[in-house]
Structure formats: C-alpha cells, structure tokens
Amino acid sequence: MKGNEVIGEAAIKAGCRYFFGYPITPQSELPEYLSRRLPEIGGVYLQAESEVAAINMVYGAAATGVRVMTSSSSPGISLKQEGISYIAGSELPCIIVNIMRGGPGLGGIQPSQSDYFQATRGGGHGDYYLIVLAPASVQEIADLVKKGFDLAEKYRNPVMILGDGMLGQMMEPVDFGVETSGDSFDKSWATTGKNGRKKSNIVNSLYLKPEELEVHNRELEKKYLEIKSKETMAESYLTKDAEIVVAAYGMTARIAKSAVDMAREEGIRAGVFRPITLWPYPEKELNAATVSAKGVLTVEMSLGQMVEDVKLSLNGRLPVEFYGRVGGMVPTARAIFEEIKRMSEKFGGVK
Amino acid sequence: MAVVFDRPKSLTDAKFHYCPGCHHGIIHRLVAEVLDELGLQDRTVGIAPVGCAVFAYDYFDVDCIEAAHGRAPAVATGVKRTRPDTIVFSYQGDGDLASIGMAEIVHAAARSENITVIFVNNAIYGMTGGQMAPTTLIGQKTTTSPLGRKSELTGYPIKVCELLATLPGATYLARTSVHDPKNVRQTKEAIKKAFQLQVEGKGFSLVEVLSACPTNWHMKPVQALDFIKNDMMDYFPLGQFKSPEEAK
C-alpha cells in the first residue's frame, strides 16, 4: 500500500472513525482513501472549508472523547496552528499528520523536512509540546499511527505524525496487526451532554487569573517532563563501534543507512542514529549511540533544524557537522558518504 | 410561600459578569428556559465564543467547549458529527460570527449542520472595549471609528440573516430583538423553534438577536433600547428570513 493510504487504514485499525481535512498536495491520497473507507464502517469523513475549520472540527470531536485525525502538508499545518494550540491547552487527544513539503510560503510540493522547528517546538502560541513521531517506512507508519493514538489518549495531548512527500508516496508491504480502540482510556472528562452527571464538563484553555494559568502551565510542564522521561524512541544502526555517527530521521535516515553501508565497505566505521520521537528528543539514546564516536554528522532535508537538538543533546561532547538539501531536493547516499569520509579524515583515528 | 419565578435549571448559580443594561443576561436566560422546556439540558453541548460571552460555559449548566475566536460553528460541527444525539448550540457575538468567523458560519449553514446558532448582534466589539464591528452602523461612533463609521473607508454593515438566506442549507433564520417585553417573548419563541428544528433533525438554524451595549455605546440603558428600536431595527429589520417550509 501507499504510505498515505496506510496512515488512513492504520487509523481505522486503531479505532479512529472521524477525519476532518482540507485538500493539499502531497497528502491527498489520505483524505481520498478515508472518504471511501470511513462511510463503509459507520465513520465520518468531512471535507472542511479550510484547514482552520478542519482543526477546529477536530477540537470539537476530540472534546467528545472519540479518536479523531486530520492531515495536511506544511502550509496547511501553519493554518492549523491556532487550533492545535487550543487542543494542547485544553488537553485533548488527536492525531495531526504533516506530510512535509518545501517552504517557506507556498514553497513547493516536493519532499522536505523543513517543519522540524514548528513541529517540535509546539508550533502555535504558548508553552506546549506535541508528541512528534517520525516514521521511516510504510510499516512504521502503521505502527506509529496506532501507538500515536494510545500516546495521545494516555497523556491527553495532540500527537503529530511527521513525514515527507516521499514516504507518503512510497509503496511497501504492511502488516496492520491487531485492531485496537480507545475504549480502555478514561473519558469522564468528555463533553457529550451531562446525561445525569451532576457537574457539567467544560473543555477550555482560558485562565484569566495569572495564578490559575500558572498552575495550569505547571501541570502541563509536569506532563511534558513525564513524556520526556518515558516515551523517547530511537533506532541505532551500526553505532556500537562507529567513529562517525550520522543523525537523521524519516526518509533521510534510510538514505543515510545506504551511505553508512558504503562507508563500511571502505573500512570507515560509521553508523546511523535515527530518532523516532522528534519530541521528546531521544537525548539518552543519542548519547548511548555515540560512545565510540569522534564526530556526528546531521543530515536533513532542511537548512539545519534537528542539528540544534543534536548539539543540545551532546552538549559540546562531540563535534557536530551538518549536511542538508533543501527545496524538495533529496540528499543522495553518495553525497552523504562523501561527507562521512571527509569527517572520518578530519576526526577519525583509524582508516 | 410559593415560588413563582426561579432560575432555569440550565443556568448555573454563577453571577453574570455582564454590564448594567447589557442583554446577554436576558438572552442566556431565554436559551436556558428553552432547554428546560424542551427537556434538552442533559444532552446539550454549548460552544462558547471569544467576546463578552466567553464565560458562557460558567453560566450554562450544560457541557461546554470554549472555542477560538469565530470557530464555534466548526467546533459545533465536530461535536455534532461525532455525537449526533447531542443538541449542539453555539453562542456568538457579531465580531466573532460576522468578521473573523464568517467562513465557519457560512459553511456550517451551507452544509446544513444540524446545530443551533444564537447570534448576538450589538453592533460593536464589547469585550475588547468598543471597537468597530462588521455590524456597526454607518455613522456609529466606536473607539476605532471615532468620527463615526464611514462607508468610503470601511464599507457597510453585514446583514447576516439576509446573507445566509441565500444558502439552500440554511433551514431557519430569524432576527429578533430584546428591547421590550413583547420582543423578548418573540425572541424566546424563535429560539425555541430553532432548537425544536434541531431536535427534529431539520438542519441549520440561527437566531440573530439585536441587543444593547450601553457601556460601549456610551448610552444610558433606556437610551440604548431606543437605539435598537430606532437605529438598529431600521437597518436590521426583524423577521423570519428562512423557514423550514422554504428551505431546500
């Protein structure tokens, strides 16, 4: 199946029956797929008048305690930021998919990773974080969409699936595993009508008194710290003895693996560190993957965004360099290999 | 002693924060009375706006969601589509609905979302301190039209009911006023009809209520009633702009 369609089917397998979206390239296969599938199983697919409206429909749906998803691509995600901030502030679960394309502005429609800052720093106004998951294969899309719904409900926090146009268009075999649902999670907070309840439920992010807003902010902080300590995920490839570790996520990490294989053939001890959660950033895992390293090469389809988290995580322990392609251009394995080789000559001991 | 007048069940005992002479209190009460009379309190979800009625969730004793500015019809859509058995209403002012939220209200009506919208039109931004609204009358002085609204600069006030009446999806549209007891009663009838239609699954209903903002109009409450009657009703005629019989 195609990556974009797998997002949709995985959501269904996770018990999601509601999708609100607005068309934008390169993620349109996802809403198209769900517009066929959801009505078949008693769900609702609704095309909103704008991304702004779509995310606010998600806000309303999430408030009733159902599993709900929306998707878009970079410029559309910018439009959704207002609603995402309200969802984070009101502590509602949902999944937001961003199949990134080049920017800024209207940019282009080719794959990019230039929304990393926006995704991992909240994105809208206020102190908040999304849980950001970055799949690197079609199978991993299926796994992370399902896990994403559970994380969203466990922490009552919006989750973003961050991919790029290449991943969305890619076809690979996929196993969806067992069907799940959100039934086991507490929904006593949901606004579904009082139905005999004594006190009304209110979904809200307004706290006019600074003392009260501070308490709310501190509670959010506590949640974020817990997520940071418990939910990081990463994959390390040949990093145990690696002198040069390539840090890359999503599709770029797959290309980096090919580059590392080329380097290994030439006797260069290289490896790949691939964060799967971009927020929380897997700091410990990166440090563990670079115990033998002399230098870290960060590769992204951006001007250098994740590289800041790599530097923050390593905290000056190792030299960090950057190689990126932008505008929808994809780094080649050969080009990454050349960078590994250059860094190995610069920092490495053994050839 | 027998109780002859009491707070509707669908209102909490929280004290309204509204200014003297403001009509939000009356309109809240009318909505609550209708919810009580139709027996809907237990399955209602209210969507509060950004504006003077931002704390509506403290006053209505029903489940509530506080929406971003102008987005209440989209939030209401999200609730109604996932929980069709709930009764969903949004409560919005003129800045919220007719300016920043124009796309959301037009498309909710176009889709004939089975929701009820209470649209409070007082021709001014109250919460932020009396700025010009999309429904501010020509010549009306506000903090951002200090010499009076001029059409050359800012165009003309928007007639929401008339505009939405062009949409086949709009089932019921009425404009009422609460400037005297007779009109208060008619407003309640319109609100009741709107909720009743939602119960029957008939689609989108909206009641526009002309209301006073003496504080930001810089008028005494009684003067403000005259402003509604003489000035506002002249530009915003009362009446039914769409009935279920006409809707298709």
Predicted ipTM? 0.96
pLDDT at A180: 94
pLDDT at A351: 46
Minimal CA separation from B146 to chain A, in Å: 29
Interface size between A and B, measured as CB pairs under 8 A:
132
Chain segment B216-230, per-residue pLDDT in tens: 999 999 999 999 999
Scan residues 167-186 of B and list those with Cβ closer than 8 Å to A: none
By the CB < 8 Å criterion, does A206 face chain B?
Answer: yes
The CATH class, in words, for A235-347 is alpha beta
Chain segment B58-103, per-residue pLDDT in tens: 999 999 999 999 999 999 999 999 999 999 999 999 999 999 999 9
Query: pTM (2 decimals)?
Result: 0.97
Average pLDDT on B16-37 reads 97
Whether A302 and A116 have beta carbons less than 8 Å apart is answered as yes
CATH topology identical between A3-193+218-230 and A235-347: yes
pLDDT-derived band of residue B247, with 50, 70 and 90 as boundaries? low
Each domain of chain A, given as residue ranges in start order, spans 3-193+218-230, 235-347
Chain segment A178-197, per-residue pLDDT in tens: 999 999 999 999 999 999 99
Minimal CA separation from A101 to chain B, in Å: 26
Average pLDDT on B19-47 reads 98
Residue in this structure with the two tokens 């309840």, named with its chain if needed: A197
pLDDT at B248: 58
- Closest Cα to residue A16, out of A179, A140, A137, A170? A179
Residues of chain A with confidence (pLDDT) below 70? 349-351
Q: Please give the single-letter amino acid code of residue B65.
A: I
Each domain of chain B, given as residue ranges in start order, spans 24-242
By the CB < 8 Å criterion, does B71 face chain A?
Answer: yes
Minimal CA separation from A58 to chain B, in Å: 6
Residue B3 φ then ψ, to 5°: -80, 120
By the CB < 8 Å criterion, does A204 face chain B?
Answer: yes
pLDDT at A192: 98
pLDDT at B246: 77
DSSP-assigned letters across all residues of B97-117: IIIITHHHHHHHHHTT-S-EE
pLDDT at B1: 81
> Do the chains contact at B83 and A64, CB–CB below 8 Å?
yes
Q: Please give the single-letter amino acid code of residue B83.
A: R
> Do the chains contact at B74 and A53, CB–CB below 8 Å?
yes
- Topology given in CATH for the domain delimited by B24-242: Rossmann fold (3.40.50)
Looking at the domain that runs over A3-193+218-230, which CATH code has it been given?
3.40.50.970
